[in-house]
């Protein structure tokens, strides 16, 4: 297997350290669920695991069938869009606060003791 090389004082070993350190994961803390690229699809995926949201989606889809149409199509979509938007904003704000906390923790000054 791979062996880990620990170089406490870089000095003239800096090039070797940079080459070797690319093989290992960093130790940064990441508690966020989303990134900018996956926020919308992942959030919608999580929200449609709730039965109430699936029920409203069923009503929206059912209202697009001409024989069953009870209300205007746009009016049926309003409750679902409102709920999805409010929950997405709440989840986004919570995730952003987790991101700020992670950034604060990852940038703490640490002391390294060696013998």
The 10s digit of each residue's pLDDT in 1-50 is 566 556 566 666 777 777 777 777 777 888 999 999 999 999 999 999 99
The whole-model pTM stands at: 0.69
Q: Is the residue at 97 inside a domain? A: yes
The 10s digit of each residue's pLDDT in 71-112 is 777 888 888 999 999 999 999 999 999 999 999 988 887 666
Q: Is the residue at 96 inside a domain? A: yes
Number of domains in the chain: 1
**Whole-number Å distance between alpha carbons of 85 and 99:** 21
For 34, 110, 113, the CA distances from 105, given in Å and listed in that order, are 18, 10, 20
User: Domain range for residue 40?
Assistant: 29-107
């Amino acid at each position: 297997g791979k062996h880990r090389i620990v170089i406490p004082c870089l000095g003239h070993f800096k090039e070797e350290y940079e080459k070797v350190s690319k093989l290992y994961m960093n130790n940064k803390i990441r508690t966020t669920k989303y990134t900018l690229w996956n926020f919308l699809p992942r959030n919608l995926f999580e929200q449609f695991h709730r039965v109430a949201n699936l029920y409203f989606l069923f009503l929206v889809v059912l209202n697009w069938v001409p024989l069953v149409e009870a209300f205007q199509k746009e009016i049926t979509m309003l409750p679902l869009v409102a709920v999805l938007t409010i929950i997405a904003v709440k989840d986004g704000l919570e995730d952003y606060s987790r991101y700020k906390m992670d950034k604060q923790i990852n940038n703490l000054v640490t002391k390294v003791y060696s013998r």
